[in-house]
């Protein structure tokens, strides 16, 4: 039986769309691209409130996504709880979103239990799961259509010119001599360094809380250790210096956490902008980069959560080197 020859017409459709997007975006309807900035941009020039110590508080384009992310997590939690209660009253088999959330959290709970043990898993799991789940939503929310693409045109030096678009000509602002830049209404939360630093502070602070919960106030002896200073002077001095290095290590975790998440998510924004400028402003190729951003967003949320789990597990472990020094001194 003669098989029908495949005709890869889909490839030609993609190629035609690429060429059309390049021509249209480069010569006819050139969109104004957003500027690449590290800090979040102000949506309004006037501050919302002026706080006594902090100063003026502005509405920046990362605040609406931050609020939306919190509301989305609350809504998901509400419907998940309703699904689980409904299944508990019937056949004990969760369905829909309840089944999905149960599978997700059971997976990461087993991961936590395998890494920290059955005794410590209930203590560490809530923080690991919460941080990873929220960071995952914050990373993936920026992939929705309209993020970083729809906003306000503002005149800036070295900006882009705009062109009237038929019936929308009267809606466009007057031509600025230096061009315009786009200030998007919505910007990914993870691209704001304030958010990543706040998340890092929560992670590191709660690591110390878990350490105190499991070891008591003796946990702080790993930072300021003078127990063996007079019994074994040499090793006591070494322990004291190691404690100072532990303080530096804990502080460096904040910087590492914050800039790892911020740097990887900001790199995705820069990559999309570069691909757009090289291959046409209206093109399907930049959208393909979103698949890579999806992968990076999931991986970075997992890394942030798993490192929090590892550091909390380490904080629960006592240090036995003081006893070893005492044994050496007795010998």
The tens digit of pLDDT for each residue in 114-135 reads 888 888 888 889 888 899 888 8
User: 45 in a domain, yes or no?
Assistant: no
Asked if residue 209 and residue 60 are part of one domain, the reply reads yes
Asked if residue 252 and residue 106 are part of one domain, the reply reads yes
Asked if residue 105 and residue 247 are part of one domain, the reply reads yes
Asked if residue 257 and residue 206 are part of one domain, the reply reads yes
Long-range contacts for 218-221 (Cβ within 8 Å, ≥24 apart)? 218/318, 219/315, 221/319
User: 2 in a domain, yes or no?
Assistant: no
User: 22 in a domain, yes or no?
Assistant: no
Q: What is the pLDDT of residue 169?
A: 47
Asked if residue 193 and residue 157 are part of one domain, the reply reads no
DSSP H or E segment with residue 233: helix 233-279
Asked if residue 169 and residue 119 are part of one domain, the reply reads no
Q: What is the pLDDT of residue 200?
A: 92
Asked if residue 138 and residue 66 are part of one domain, the reply reads yes
Query: Using CA atoms, how far apart are residues 255 and 115, in angstroms rounded to an integer?
Result: 25
Residuewise pLDDT in 10s, the chain (331 residues): 455 556 677 777 777 777 776 676 666 666 666 667 777 888 888 888 888 877 888 888 888 888 988 999 899 989 988 888 888 787 777 777 888 888 888 888 998 888 888 888 888 898 888 998 888 988 888 888 777 777 777 777 666 666 655 544 444 555 555 667 778 888 888 888 888 999 999 999 998 888 888 888 877 777 777 666 666 666 667 777 877 888 888 888 899 888 988 888 888 778 777 776 666 556 666 667 777 888 888 898 999 989 999 888 888 876 544 444 444 344 4
Q: Which runs of consecutive H residues, i.e. helices, occur in 184-232?
A: 193-215
Asked if residue 233 and residue 170 are part of one domain, the reply reads no
User: 166 in a domain, yes or no?
Assistant: yes
User: 48 in a domain, yes or no?
Assistant: no
Structure tokens at 229: 């200073």
Asked if residue 314 and residue 224 are part of one domain, the reply reads yes
Q: Which domain holds residue 302?
A: 54-150+185-330
């Amino acid at each position: 039986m003669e098989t029908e020859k495949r005709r890869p017409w889909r490839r030609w459709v993609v190629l035609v769309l690429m060429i059309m997007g390049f021509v249209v975006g480069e010569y006819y309807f050139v969109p104004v691209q957003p500027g690449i900035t590290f800090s979040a941009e102000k949506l309004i020039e006037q501050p919302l409130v002026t706080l006594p110590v902090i100063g003026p508080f502005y509405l920046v384009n990362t605040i609406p996504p931050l609020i939306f992310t919190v509301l989305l997590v609350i809504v998901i939690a509400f419907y998940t709880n309703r699904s689980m209660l409904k299944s508990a009253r019937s056949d004990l088999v969760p369905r829909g979103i309840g089944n999905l959330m149960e599978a997700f959290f059971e997976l990461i709970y087993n991961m936590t239990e395998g890494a920290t043990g059955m005794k410590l898993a209930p203590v560490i799991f809530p923080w690991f799961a919460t941080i990873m789940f929220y960071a995952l939503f914050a990373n993936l929310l920026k992939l929705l259509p309209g993020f970083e693409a729809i906003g306000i045109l503002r005149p800036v030096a070295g900006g882009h010119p705009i062109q009237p678009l038929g019936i929308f000509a009267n809606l466009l602002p007057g031509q600025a001599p230096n061009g315009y830049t786009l200030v998007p209404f919505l910007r990914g939360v993870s691209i704001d360094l304030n958010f990543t630093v706040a998340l890092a502070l929560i992670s590191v602070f709660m690591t110390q809380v878990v350490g105190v919960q499991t070891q008591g106030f003796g946990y702080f002896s790993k930072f300021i250790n003078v127990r063996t200073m007079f019994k074994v002077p040499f090793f006591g001095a070494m322990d004291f210096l190691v404690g100072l290095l532990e303080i530096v290590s804990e502080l460096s975790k904040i910087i590492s956490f914050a800039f790892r998440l911020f740097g990887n998510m900001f790199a995705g924004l820069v990559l999309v902008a570069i691909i757009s400028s090289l291959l046409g402003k209206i093109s399907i190729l930049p959208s393909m980069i979103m698949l890579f951003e999806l992968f990076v967003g999931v991986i970075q949320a997992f890394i942030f959560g798993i490192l929090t789990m590892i550091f909390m597990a380490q904080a629960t472990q006592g240090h036995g080197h003081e006893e070893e020094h005492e044994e050496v001194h007795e010998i």
